[in-house]
Amino acid sequence: MINIAVMGFGTVGAGVADVFEMNGALIAQRLGEPVYVKYILDVREFPDSPFAGRVVHDFDVILNDPAVEIVVETIGGAKVAYDYTKRALAAGKHVVTSNKELVATKGCELLQLAKEKNVNYLFEAAVGGGIPVLRPMQQCLAANEIEEVYGILNGTTNFILSRMVRAGVTFEAALKEAQSLGYAEQDPTADVEGQDACRKICILADLAFGKELPPEHVPTCGISGVTLRDVEIVEQAGWRVKLLGRALRTAGGKVCAYVAPHLVAAEHPFSAVEDVFNAIMVRGNAVGEVMFYGPGAGKLPTASAVAADVLDAAAHREKRKNIGWSAWRAEDAGTPEELELRGYFRVKDPLETVEARFPGSEILASGGEVAFITPKMPLRRLEDAAAALQLCAKMCVLG
């Protein structure tokens, strides 16, 4: 029997305990031995929970119990979670987490510590919720040079954009709806301003390229500036608006990433990704493009990914999985400004000004304001040329 501890009994932590109850027999059969949730660490009590008797409040109980081989960290944030994770790894325990903030900011260091202690630090649930993406990218595409990873990485913003498209409501109204359904927090900043997507694209880039890309080096723009007017203009022209995180290897072998709202063509598989679903596209030099799609959040889906990592850690107790990336170096980092992109702009200038400044553009609307998609050009040139216009809105174009 494998004893595990779950730290943080919020939505995901409770889901993890539930999955090991619900599918315990099946898991025991597949793993060859049962998994038992011995402790749940939380500051709160849960008198009505079937796990009430296993709740502890002192991390040392877990740390000092040699029977606990695997610790699940579903606390979130990068403070207490960081401290406990370091101590658990240092004590020779495997750690599994759904904590994207911690992995994006401290993953490199924690993986190094895990390597020294010959234990696993796994975090499939940190990106894409229940969607298998990190493990397939690492293992199933292991014979590929990864050239690019991009995705719809945040369910809240995708729900809001879906509602704007389908119900024709404003950003503000769609956000309220998301909050009332529990899809958005009362303070929705991290989702809406793209920070959550930024952390996830950083983790994807770290793994895909083997080099740390810290969130503070990733230009991030969320969807609070996306208006219903722009959504409608581009929709009429066959485009969908999606918040994407993108990470790619630039010409010189450097790596760069950014987060921004994008126009996605109706024929692209992402256009069918609605509501709180996520999708991640990975481009490898042998396989081409493969996509992973599914529920990007939620109690049981996220717990499904955490539980799979627990099983994987258990199966690799002797021979740990070789996961890690080298620490951040400024010279490895490219800048998105070098990327060649098409841009979408809506401006107050007359059509002639637009056509003079961006020759060859596709004009989507021209009554009063002009909305247009530029030809492909380096992002820097795009921004320079746009700066001289009376800008109402701007977005990137995928492809």
**Residues carrying an active site annotation:** 200
Two tokens, residue 288: 């081409």
Q: Which of 80, 115, 136, 217 binds a second copy (CB under 8 A)?
A: 136
User: Is 295 among the residues that bind a second copy (CB under 8 A)?
Assistant: yes
User: Is 311 among the residues that bind a second copy (CB under 8 A)?
Assistant: yes
Give pairs for 38-43: CB < 8 Å, separation 24+: 38/3, 38/4, 38/5, 38/65, 38/67, 38/68, 39/5, 39/6, 39/65, 39/68, 40/5, 40/6, 40/7, 40/9, 40/13, 41/5, 41/6, 41/7, 41/8, 41/9, 42/7, 42/8, 42/9, 42/13
Write out the binding residues for a second copy, residues 241-280 only, by CB under 8 A: 267-269, 271-274
Pick 136 or 219: Cβ nearer a second copy: 136
Pick 214 or 324: Cβ nearer a second copy: 324
Radius of gyration, CA atoms only, the chain = 23
184 class by beta-carbon count within 10 Å (0-12 exposed, 13-18 middle, 19+ buried)? buried
Phi-psi region of 302 (alpha: psi -120 to 50; beta: other; left: phi over 0): alpha
State how far the Cα of 250 lies from the Cα of 254, in Å rounded to an integer. 5
Pick 27 or 175: Cβ nearer a second copy: 27
Judged by CB under 8 A, which stretch of 217-225, 239-247, 291-299, 370-378 contacts a second copy?
291-299
Q: Which of 188, 222, 245, 301 binds a second copy (CB under 8 A)?
A: 301
- Residues 12-41, mask of contacts with a second copy (x by CB under 8 A): ---x---xx-xx--xx--xxx---------
Q: Which of 1, 43, 142, 251 binds a second copy (CB under 8 A)?
A: 142
Please name the helix (run of DSSP H) or strand (run of DSSP E) that holds residue 180, with its range, or none.
helix 171-180
Residue 150 is which amino acid?
Y
Pick 152 or 371: Cβ nearer a second copy: 152
User: Is 1 among the residues that bind a second copy (CB under 8 A)?
Assistant: no
User: Is 300 among the residues that bind a second copy (CB under 8 A)?
Assistant: yes
User: Strand order of the sheet with strand 35-41?
Assistant: 55-56, 35-41, 2-7, 68-73, 94-97, 121-122
Q: Which of 3, 11, 144, 227 binds a second copy (CB under 8 A)?
A: 144
Pick 312 or 338: Cβ nearer a second copy: 312
User: Is 313 among the residues that bind a second copy (CB under 8 A)?
Assistant: no
Give pairs for 365-368: CB < 8 Å, separation 24+: 365/233
Which of helix, strand or coil describes residue 79? coil
Pick 307 or 398: Cβ nearer a second copy: 307
Q: Under the rule (CB under 8 A), what is the footprint of a second copy?
A: 15, 19-20, 22-23, 26-27, 30-32, 124, 130-132, 135-136, 139-145, 267-269, 271-274, 284-295, 298, 300-301, 303-305, 307-308, 310-312, 318-319, 322
